[in-house]
Every structure is written in C-alpha cells, then in structure tokens.
Amino acid sequence: MTSNLFTDWLITINNQMKKKKRKNLLFLDNAPCHVINQDLSNIKLVFFPPNTTSKCQPLDHGVIHSFKCFYRQKLVKHIIAQCTLAQTAAQISITVLDAIKWIEISWKNVTEKTIKNGFRAAGFTHSSSTSSSCAIDMDIDVEADIELNNSDNLLQQLDSLLTHLQIGGPQLTAAEFVNIDSCIPTFNEWDDYEHLETYIQVTQDDNEDEEEEEVLVEQPPNLSEVLKMIRKLHFFASIEQPQLHNLISDLESQLTDIYLDSKAVKQSSIIDYFSYC
C-alpha cells in the first residue's frame, strides 16, 4: 500500500458515501501510507494511539489469523496436488489467478462471528448499563473460547496437511507457517511511477541485444476434451473414491449444459437473413 493508492481509494469511498447520503467514521493505524491531504465530506478519520494497533484493530483479533489459515490450506493442497507430477520444486507453479481465487474463497470462509468477535475484543462494544456491560463481557469470554477452539481446529487441519509436504529446510508447524509473514510491512512509500519508468527503460536496454524468446502459453482444453476428462474422473471414483460420484455427476451435468448451449447458439449470416424474407 502507498499513500497515493490509499488516497485514491479513500476518495472513491467518500464519493460513494456522498451519493448514498451517508457519513462514516473510519479508524486507522499510524502507517506512513495513511497520510491524507484531502478534505473528505462524508468520512471522518480517527487514528489509533501510537503502538496500539495490535490491541485496537479488530482484524488483529482473529480475523487475519482465520483468513491466513484458510489461505495456507489452499496453498498447501495445491502444492501437494502438483507434487503428483512435478519432479522438482521448480516445476510447481502458482499463478496470480490461483492466489486471487484462494483469497476469494478464504475470505468467504471467515465467519461473521469471527469478525464480530474481533470488533468486540478490540473494544467496539456498546452498553447502556452496568448489568448489560457485565452480560456483554460474559458473552465475549464465551465466544472468545469458541473462537480459540475454532482457531485450534484450523491449525490442526493445516498441521495434518504439512506432514505430507517438505520441499526443503526444517519442517514448519502450522502456527509458524501462518505467521511466517507477520513481520513484513504492508505499506510502501516507494514512488511507483518513477521507478516503473526506470525499470521499463532498463528492461528495454537489456533486451535490445537479446533475441526474443517465444513464450509458451498453456491453452485450456475445449469442452469436448473436458467431458472426456470427466469420464476418467468417473472411472477413478468407481475404483478409488466412490463418494466423489455425486460431485463429478453434478460437474458433468453443468458442463453438458454449457456444451449444448454452445451448439445451440449460432451466428446469423446474411443468407439466414434472406431466407426469412
């Protein structure tokens, strides 16, 4: 994140709130990229006290941890699946599209209860009386215990996956793997445009004397080839994993519908036009 990107995002949100005639209160930490030189009509910014982000920010109370557990599970399962064909670690490929899909799925798996508990643990609670405050505190304690159990279960699932994977170096525990990037800053004051221009210029200079290499792009299979793969999956399920039959049948049904729709849709030609006249 950079200050320019953050400012652009904030202006966009402010414009949306203005159209909806809503006003928002936005809490921020003191990251260097959160320097705002814009007057915002519908958003009021409130900054946490210095060095209190881990206490005041709801995301740090289980939300990020839950998301990372789900994401790391997707990553490890992908690597395990690729290991069935790859001979070396260099042959295991992870694309940006893979990461985007895992991010979407992982965020959807973070429950509403986890998010609410994060806000409560950070102190975002409302109480009208002492008795209601005590009741809320008891609810927080109970839900915190539940959330801790859920977190432990996620780590246990990830631990069981990691036992099947060791590319090099010491074996990581699930907790170490989830927190492996916790110390990496999420902000950057690098001038992206200036350095991007420099990078492009250097890259062009380096490639002037080099022959252009043909880039091999993997082409997706067509529908007919995919339907043949489905038949192989059915055979696999029959021999190895019968419980997959229903899932494969549902996938086959959807692919067949797509195939039939593609055959039914034909582009009209000028001959078709005159045939109706």
Summarised one tens digit per residue, pLDDT across range 75-110 is: 888 887 777 677 777 778 888 888 998 999 999 999
Cα separation values, 226 from 92, 231, 246, Å: 23, 9, 17
Residue 123 confidence class, pLDDT cut points 50, 70, 90? confident
Cα–Cα distance measured from residue 240 to residue 227, given in angstroms and rounded to the nearest whole number:
20
Say what angle helices 112-121 and 130-162 make with each other, to 10 degrees: 120
Q: Cβ contacts of residue 66 below 8 Å, gap of 6+?
A: 109, 110, 111, 114, 150, 151, 154
189 vs 112: which has the higher pLDDT: 112
Residues in the chain: 277
Q: Give yes or no for residue 143 having a pLDDT over 80.
A: no
What tokens were used for 134? 């005590």
Cα separation values, 235 from 122, 227, 245, Å: 52, 13, 9
Residue 129 confidence class, pLDDT cut points 50, 70, 90? very low
pLDDT of res. 269:
52
Cα 238 from chain centre: 34
Cα–Cα distance measured from residue 39 to residue 14, given in angstroms and rounded to the nearest whole number:
10
- Which residue matches tokens 């740090």? 60
The alpha carbon dihedral of 187, 191, 196, 201 has a sign of negative
Pairing of strands 43-47, 24-28: parallel
Residues 42 and 14: beta-carbon distance below 8 Å: yes
Q: Give yes or no for residue 202 having a pLDDT over 60.
A: no
pLDDT of res. 276:
46
Question: Residue 247 in 3-state DSSP?
Answer: helix
